[in-house]
Structure 1
């Protein structure tokens, strides 16, 4: 089954979907299986595209007028096409630089294979960058994960401040650059230590 997706960047009347819709119908896509967006390709939230991708089933073929109708940028395009390939959804491009791409043909399947390699390359780069970042952090004495907002010196100042019966917990937290939630995670309202606070002191 053929499923179409069309998009124009502006919805002020200066651009029209008609040429794309005509091309879809000529390619054999039924009108009730064409999804539309009137939004910039740079936008993350494109309800028509989201609905289209969700509706696609294994064995379907997604038909687009041009490749730039589909992806926000090359990275997004590679990710989208790799997702289609993994779901056994084909792709057919009707015009533009990717014209005549059709994964029902051997050349089209080669095209999908190239994008699969690019997607794998991108994933490996992300893993490599993450590992390099963690290694650099460890070399500087930092552990992975979010930095702890409460350290020993901050805790000691908080204990001293809260020992004053007139102290206001939210004001103390603000002065120390932490949230009230974080403050109460380590201390009771009178400045005495909770279990988490004891672990820092010890």
Structure 2
């Protein structure tokens, strides 16, 4: 079964273009959402993921409609693959049912891992530099009982 997912970030935006393309592709069911991609709680995406069965195919209009970041996108598609579900991005010409589509998506996954490693290295370097300047990391100390005493 071909299942579509269409999302726009704000209530003022329109889903028509995505829905038209997903319908033309042959999607039997299209989950629609008007919610920011940064929002981790996307109810329609959660419903879509819960409804999937092995052999289904999830289609989106464009990659940025599915994931909040490259890492999030890779995680979602990896979850689809674990369930035996194929993935198609119409605008980006990615189709994990083909060797080329699988290769392209693996490149994206590698880039996401690289991005995560770079962020980790920058964070460690920043913490080391702060420590060398005498800065102490972590949360500030809370109020002690003595400091709570008002004169």
Per the normalisation by structure 2, the TM-score is: 0.73
Q: Please state which structure has a larger fraction of its residues in helix.
A: 1
CA distance in structure 2 between the partners assigned to 1:102 and 1:190 by the alignment: 66
Structure 1 residue runs of 5 or longer lacking an equivalent are 150-181, 192-202
1:120 paired to 2:120: no
- Aligned twin of 2:57: 61
CA radius of gyration, larger in: 1
Give CA-to-partner distance per residue, 1:54-73, whole Å, 9 cap, x none: 6556764321122343345x
CA distance in structure 1 between the partners assigned to 2:104 and 2:21 by the alignment: 22
Q: Please state which structure has a larger fraction of its residues in strand.
A: 2
Matches for 1:63-102 after TM superposition, within 5 Å = 63-71=59-67, 76=69, 78-87=70-79, 88=81, 89-95=85-91, 98=92, 100-102=93-95
CA distance in structure 2 between the partners assigned to 1:16 and 1:187 by the alignment: 55
- Secondary structure of the equivalent of 1:118? helix
- Aligned twin of 2:131: 138
Tell me the matched-pair count: 146
Per the normalisation by structure 1, the TM-score is: 0.57
Alignment match of 2:18 (pick from 4, 17, 20)? 20
Contact 1:84 1:90 in 2 (8 A): no
Deviation at 1:102, TM superposition (A): 0.3
Structure 2 residue runs of 5 or longer lacking an equivalent are none
- CA RMSD of superposed structures (Å): 3.2
Cα distance change, pair 37–188 in 1 and its aligned pair in 2 (3 A): closer
- Aligned twin of 2:7: 7
Cα distance change, pair 8–123 in 1 and its aligned pair in 2 (3 A): closer
